Amino acid sequence: MVTAGTFQKLPHWNTPERRDFLLEALFTLSAEFGWQLQAWAVLPNHYHFVAKSPEDASTLRKFLSKLHMTTAKQLNAWDGMPGRKVWYQYWDSCITFERSYLARLNYVHHNPAHHGVTEDARDYRWCSARWFAENSPAAWREKVENCKTDRLEVADDF
């Protein structure tokens, strides 16, 4: 699982077009580096994703560096602010227990509702909740959605 936040928690990704760009970059670069996205949420000042790593998980750093460089350059071009610091840092964790994995999937799918951006995360197009609801077998969906997230320790004070 990866969480990344903007510098000073500024809402740089505050328009649909900007969130579309960031999400498309996430999809494109995760595929380029062999990371299989399982859940994602892009909000104005941070994002989360859960992904299955490629055999060489050390590519995560290069993947995120390219994602942050690419998106920061475009954002700064749009705003006429070359060189501005956009991203603060990221946190990652390797999930090794099934319950932890299920809880993090559930957490990320519903993160926009957690932050009050929307009442139902399935209505927020920059997260995986709707995709998950429409594409997952009912038994798997129920298993994930019934997994509690209240004991998770996720950097998410945005």
Q: How many domains does the chain have?
A: 1
| Residues listed for the chain | 158
> In the structure, what pLDDT confidence band is assigned to residue 158 with cuts at 50, 70 and 90?
low
Q: Any bridge partners for residue 89, and if so which?
A: 5
Are residues 123 and 117 in contact, defined by beta-carbon separation less than 8 angstroms? no
> In the structure, what pLDDT confidence band is assigned to residue 110 with cuts at 50, 70 and 90?
very high
d(CA 17, CA 20): 5
Note the pLDDT tens digit of each residue in 140-149: 999 999 988 7
pLDDT at residue number 155: 65
User: Would you say residue 61 lies in a domain?
Assistant: yes
Q: Which domain holds residue 35?
A: 2-145
Are residues 46 and 158 in contact, defined by beta-carbon separation less than 8 angstroms? yes
User: Would you say residue 157 lies in a domain?
Assistant: no
User: Would you say residue 150 lies in a domain?
Assistant: no
User: Would you say residue 80 lies in a domain?
Assistant: yes
CATH number assigned to the domain comprising residue 71: 3.30.70.1290
Note the pLDDT tens digit of each residue in 85-95: 999 989 999 99
Label each residue of 47-113 as H, E or C: EEEEEECCCCHHHHHHHHHHHHHHHHHHHHHHHCCCCCCCEEEEEECCCCCHHHHHHHHHHHHCHHH
> In the structure, what pLDDT confidence band is assigned to residue 136 with cuts at 50, 70 and 90?
very high
Note the pLDDT tens digit of each residue in 7-56: 999 999 999 999 999 999 999 999 999 999 999 999 999 999 999 999 99
pLDDT beyond 80 at 152: no
User: Would you say residue 152 lies in a domain?
Assistant: no
User: Would you say residue 135 lies in a domain?
Assistant: yes
User: Would you say residue 151 lies in a domain?
Assistant: no
User: Would you say residue 83 lies in a domain?
Assistant: yes
pLDDT at residue number 150: 72
| Residues above pLDDT 70, as percent of the chain | 96
Residue with tokens 């000042």: 45
pLDDT at residue number 156: 72
Over range 97-124, report the average pLDDT: 94
Note the pLDDT tens digit of each residue in 50-87: 999 999 999 999 999 999 999 999 999 999 999 999 99
